[in-house]
Amino acid sequence: MGFKKVFLACSLSAACSVFAAQYEAESATLSGDAAAASSTAASGGKYVKMNGGDITFSKVVAENAGKYTIVIHYMNNYGGSKINNVEVGGASSAVTFDETDKGKFADVETVMNLAAGENTIAITNSWGWIDVDYIEIKGYEAKAFNLCNAPVTKTATPSAIKLYNFLVNNFGKKTISGVMTGNMDAYTKGDATQHEDVQAVFKAGGKYPALVGVDLMNATGASKDNSWFQEYTEKAIDIAKSTWKKGGIPAFTWHWRPGEEENFYVKGANDNYTEFDFTEAFVTGTTNWDTVSTAYKALVADIDLVSKIFLDLQKEGIAAIFRPLHESGGNWFWWSTHTGKQFAALYQLLYERMVFTNGVNNLIWDFNPKDAATMSWTPGETYYDVLSVDIYNNANDHQSNSAAFIDLTNKAGTNKIISLSENGPIPDVDKMYEDGATWSWWMPWYESPSWNGGYVSQTAASVWQKNLADERIITLDKMPGWDNYSEAAAATNVCPTSTQNAKFGADTAKANPENVDLVMGVTYKAINDSGANIQYTKVPNLTGAKSIAVTIENKGSGGEMNGIWIGMAFVRDGSKDKAWTWEQSPSDGCWLNDGAKATCEFAIETYTDDAGVEHPMDLDKLFSVTFILAGANGFEGTVLFDNMVTDNGIIINGFNKNTELFTAADQSKGHIASIELYNKDGTPATPSSIKPIAATKKAGIRMNGTSIAFTASKAGFASIDVFNMNGKREATLYRGTLSAGEHSFSLKNLSKGQYILRVKGNGIAASKPILVK
C-alpha cells in the first residue's frame, strides 16, 4: 500500500497527536464498481471513482490508541451533497461530501478512534457517488467552544434567558433527551407525559425525556379553522405549557402551510404539494419585500398568527425553542427551493416580524440547515442561538454522528450551541463523549404508529435504558425546575445581538440604502391655535405592555410660544367586534421647549370612556396609534420622533423606513407640511411621504380672551382639565355631561402662565397649549 508519513509529533493528550500520514486511494483494496482513474489534479496523478463501490485502506498505522482526525481528499461532481460511511474497528461515521468545483478536490474530516498499531479503514457506499484521491490521518485536536453569553434577542424574557443559560451551561457536559410528538387524537390535555410518544420513551427507557417537540403545521393554511386542525394546535400548545410547568423544555417545529395552501412539500417531494412561491413577495430582481403583494401579505398574516401563539405563552412566563424553516437547502419544502440569499431574507423577515413588530421575546432560535454544506444559507449569526442538523441513521445504528458535528463546527465556528434536532436511533452517550460530538440535545421523531412513525422503536429498550440512566443524559427528573433555576450563563463571549434589518418594504433600498439609523421628521404649523393628529396603523399586539416610550425632539419653532405639547391616543379596531373607540393615554403628555429633546413616556394600561368610566385598554385590538401635536398660534417647526418601544420590549416603530412613517389625520387643514425620514442631525433623508387621510378626531379649542371655546359634535360626558408645563394637573374646569354644540369656559381663576388644556369626552378629544396673561 502506498502511503507517506508527513509529520511526527506526540502530545501528552490521551489520543496523542502522533503524526500525519497519507494513504493513496488507488493503492487501497477496491470492491464493487470502484475503479482507479487518472487526473493531473490528483495526488500522484491517480484517484478512485467509487461508482457505488467501496475502498478499504489496510495497515493504517497509529502509534498510540486514541482519537484521530481522518481527512478525506475527494471530488464530488455528481450534483448535490452525498453521504458515505467511514468505518474502522466496528465503528461507523456517516460523512457528508459537499459538491465540489468541477475537476477540483476538497477535504472533509471525521474523527474516529484508532487502535495502536495497524488499523483498517473503509469508505463504504451509502448514498451517492464520490471520487477519492487519498485519506490523511492526523492527530486530533478538539476545538474549544466559546459560546455567546446571551441570546440573540436583546429583549429576551427572563424565562428565555433561563432557558438559554441552561443550554449553555450544560453544552459539552451533558446532553438533553427529547422526543417529537405526532398524532394528537388520543391525547387528553393537561399532562404532556401522557402523550403516546412521550410514553413510548418512558416505556422503553424508564424515564421521561426532558425536551418535548410539537409542530405548528396546522396553525396556518387553508384548513386552519377546521375543528380537527384547531384541536391539534390547541393540544400542541397544551403540551408545550405542560412540559414547561413540569420543568421541561418545549421545542416547536413549524411545517408551514402558507396562506390558503394545504401543503408544505413541493412538487416531486410528495404527492400532496404546494406551488406557493415566496419569491413573488419580493420586488422583482431584489430581496426587498413588496409589501402590497399578495404573497407578502400571506406570509406576514401567517407569521402574525404564529406570533399570537408565542405571545400567549410569553404572558404565562413560558419560553421555548423554535426551529422554523427547517432543513434549509433541501429541495422538499417550499421555503427551500430557491437561493440561499432568498431563504435568508425569508428567515430574517420571520424573525424581525415576530421579534421587532410583534414583540415575541420568549424564544431560543434554532437555525437548521440540511447539512453543513448549506451553512451558506445562514440568515446571519444574529438571527439564531442554536445550530442544528437532522440525521436519520438506520435502525439500531447508534453512532455519535461526529462527522456532522465536526463539519458544523468547521464551517460555522464555535460560538453557537449545536444540537441534533431530528434523528432516528439515538446516538450512544459513550460514543458521543468519546468522539467529542457532544450534542446539546437529541430528539427522535415520533413513534405514533397511526402516523407511520416508529422512530422511538429504532432504538432498542436496552439502549434506551442505558442512556437515560447515564448521568450525562438529562431526563425530566434531572431538570432543576424553572422556578428554581437561577444560574447565570457560564459563557463570557459577548456576541452581537439582533437589530432590525432594512429590508421591510418595496421602497427600502431607495429610502435607506445604507441601513442607517434615521428618525421621523414632522414639519408642523399651528394655525389658529389648532392642533394636529398623525397616525400609524401598523400597530402590533401590545398585550402585556404598560407604557410606551418615544424619543422626541423639537427642532426649532417660532411665535409667541415656541414649545409644543405631544399626546398619545389609540383607535380601537372595531372590525373585530363592531366597537370602534378613541382610547387616549391617561398620561398628561410631553412638553418640549424650542430645541429640547426628551424620552416621553405614555401609560397605556387604561383609558376613560365618554361616560367617565375607566377601562383597560384593548391592547390586542388596536387599529392605530396617534400622536397629538399642539403648538400655540405661530408655532412652525419640525418635530423629530425616534425609537417607539414598550416597557416590555415591543418595538412599535424604529422610524427607519418610509413604510414606518405616520400619516397626517388632518392634512386638509394644512397643519402638516411634510412627514419624512430625517437624519439624526435634523436634515431630510428622503422625499416627503405624506398620505392625507380623513380626520379621526378634530381639535377645535379656541382662545377668546380670558376664556376657551369649542364645539362638541354630540352630547355626552366630558372633562376639561388644565396642566402645567411639568404635567401636573392645576385645575378641572368642568367634569360632567355636555350637550352637543358650542361651549365656553372661563380661565379667570388661573394664574398667569403657560398651560396645557385638555378636553376629552363624547364628541371631542383635543389638547392645546394656552397662555394666560
Tell me how crowded residue 713 is: count the other CB atoms within 10 A of its CB.
Answer: 13
Cβ-in-10-Å burial (0-12, 13-18, 19+) of 41 comes to exposed
Which residues is 444 bridged to in the sheet?
A: 423
Cβ-contact 82, 127 below 8 angstroms: yes
Most confident of 179-193, 539-553, 619-633: 179-193
Distance CA 342, CA 287 (A): 6
| pLDDT > 90? residue 142 | no
Task: Indicate whether 404 pLDDT > 60.
Answer: yes
- Overall average pLDDT of the 33-43 stretch: 94
Give the domain 509-696 fold. Jelly Rolls (2.60.120)
- 159 - beta bridge partners? none
Closest CA to 283 of 240, 337, 342, 332: 342
Strands (E), 98-239: 106-114, 117-127, 131-139, 175-176, 178-180, 211-215
CA angle 18, 21, 24 (to 5 degrees): 160
pLDDT on residue 309? 97
pLDDT number for residue 27 = 95
Range with the lowest mean pLDDT among 275-279, 389-393, 645-649? 645-649
What is the radius of gyration, based on Cα positions, of the chain? 32
Q: Which CATH number fits domain 3-139: 1.10.3720.10, 2.30.29.30, 3.50.50.60, 2.60.120.260?
A: 2.60.120.260
User: What's the rounded Cα separation, in Å, for the pair 287 and 84?
Assistant: 36
Which residue type does 390 have? D
Asked if the model's pLDDT at residue 334 lies above 90, the reply is yes
Rounded Cα gap, residues 211 and 243, in angstroms: 8
CA-to-CA distance for 180 and 424, rounded, in angstroms?
11
Amino acid at 364: I
Q: Which residues are within 8 A (CB) of 152 and not within 5 positions of it... i.e. 6 or more apart?
A: 365, 381, 382, 383, 384, 385, 495, 496, 497, 498
Give the confidence band of 762 by pLDDT, cuts at 50, 70, 90: low
Helix axes 340-352, 294-315, angle to 10 degrees: 50
* Domains 3-139 and 509-696 equal at CATH topology level: yes
484 Cβ contact partners less than 8 Å away, ≥ 6 residues apart: none
Q: What pLDDT is stored for residue 581 in this prediction?
A: 74
Residue 700 is which amino acid?
G
Q: Which of 430, 418, 639 is nearest to 522 (CA)?
A: 639
Average pLDDT over residues 338-349: 94
Top-confidence residue, 13 or 306 = 306
Confidence of residue 717 (pLDDT cuts 50, 70, 90): confident
Instruction: Give me the mean pLDDT over the 421-437 stretch.
Output: 94
Helix (H, G, I), strand (E, B) or coil at 661: coil
- Residues 84-114 pLDDT 10s: 999 998 888 888 898 899 999 999 988 888 9
Tell me the C-alpha to C-alpha distance, in Å, between residue 369 and each of 21, 164, 257, 422: 33, 21, 19, 12
Is the confidence at residue 189, as pLDDT, over 80?
A: yes
- Per the CB < 8 A criterion, the answer to whether 95 and 85 are in contact is yes
Q: Which three cell numbers stand for residue 228?
A: 380537527
List residues bridging with 760 in a β-sheet: 719, 765
Q: Residue 31's pLDDT is what?
A: 95
Sorting pLDDT into bands at 50, 70 and 90, what band is 652? confident
For residues 685 and 699, give the distance between their C-alpha atoms in angstroms, rounded to a whole number.
30
* Residues 751-762 as b or e (16 or more Cβ within 10 Å = b): eeebbbbbbbbb
Q: Give the pLDDT confidence of 599-644 residue by residue, as tens digits.
A: 888 999 888 776 778 888 888 888 889 888 887 667 788 899 988 8
Q: Do the bridges between strand 702-704 and strand 532-536 make them parallel or antiparallel, or are there none, so unpaired?
A: unpaired
Q: Is the pTM of this model over 0.85?
A: no
Structure-model confidence comparison of residues 187 and 632, the more confident one: 187
Asked whether the beta carbons of 4 and 21 are under 8 A apart, the reply is yes
Lookup result for grid cell 391655535:
529
* pLDDT 10s digits, 559-603: 445 778 888 988 877 656 656 777 888 887 888 888 888 888 899
Q: How far apart are CA 619 and CA 347, in angstroms?
A: 27
**Residue 525 identity:** K
Residues β-bridged to residue 637: 524
Kindly give, in sequence order, each residue whose CB lies less than 8 Å from that of residue 530, ignoring residues fewer than 6 positions away. 669, 671, 699, 700, 701, 768
Tell me which range, 262-276, 523-537, 667-681, is most confidently predicted by mean pLDDT.
262-276
Q: Give the per-residue pLDDT at 493.
A: 85
What pLDDT score was predicted for residue 495? 86
Domain boundaries, the chain: 3-139, 158-478, 509-696
DSSP state of 592: E
Residue 93: strand, helix, or coil: strand
91 Cβ contact list (under 8 Å, min separation 6): 112, 113, 399, 431
Mean pLDDT, range 697-709, rounded to an integer: 67
Residue 668 is given by DSSP the state G
The rounded distance, in Å, linking the Cα atoms of 435 and 403 is 9
CA distance 91 to 111: 11
Among left, alpha and beta (phi > 0; psi -120 to 50; other), residue 753 is: left
Largest CA distance in the chain: 109
How many C-beta neighbours within 10 Å does residue 695 have? 16
On the question of pLDDT at 499 being above 90, the answer is no
| Grid cell at residue 399 | 453512532
Q: Who contacts 159 (Cβ-Cβ below 8 Å, separation ≥6)?
A: 317, 318, 319, 362, 482
Is 19's pLDDT higher than 80? Answer: no
- Report the percent of the chain where pLDDT is more than 70: 87
Q: Assign 74 a pLDDT band (cuts: 50, 70, 90).
A: very high
Match domain 158-478 to its CATH number in 3.20.20.80, 3.20.20.140, 3.90.1170.50, 3.30.590.10.
3.20.20.80
Q: If you write DSSP's letter for every residue of 119-145 in order, what string do you get?
A: EEEEEEEEES--EEEEEEEEE--PPPP
pLDDT for position 556: 67
Residue where the block lists cell 405563552: 313
H or E, element range at 678: strand 672-678
Instruction: Identify the weakest region by mean pLDDT among 279-283, 420-424, 447-451, 765-769.
Output: 765-769
Nearest CA to 463 out of 251, 110, 177 is that of 177
pLDDT in tens, 144-178: 899 999 999 999 999 999 999 999 999 999 999 99
Strand partners, 640: 521, 553
**Cα–Cα dist 422/189, whole Å:** 25
Across the beta sheet with 729-738, the strand order is 729-738, 716-723, 753-761, 764-772
pLDDT at 574: 64
Label residue 30 left, alpha or beta by phi (over 0 means left) and psi (-120 to 50 means alpha): beta
Are residues 534 and 664 in contact, defined by beta-carbon separation less than 8 angstroms? Answer: yes
Report pLDDT digits (tens) over 217-272. Answer: 999 999 999 999 999 999 999 999 999 999 999 999 999 999 999 999 999 999 99
Of the listed ranges 24-38, 123-137, 211-225, 661-675, the least confidently predicted one is 661-675
Q: How far apart are CA 773 and CA 764, in angstroms?
A: 26
Query: Using CA atoms, how far apart are residues 314 and 113, in angstroms rounded to an integer?
Result: 46
Rounded CA separation 163/148 (Å): 14
Query: In terms of Cα–Cα distance, which of 699, 639, 644 is closest to 673?
Result: 639
The confidence band for 346, taking pLDDT boundaries of 50, 70 and 90, is: very high
Work out the average pLDDT over 514-525: 75
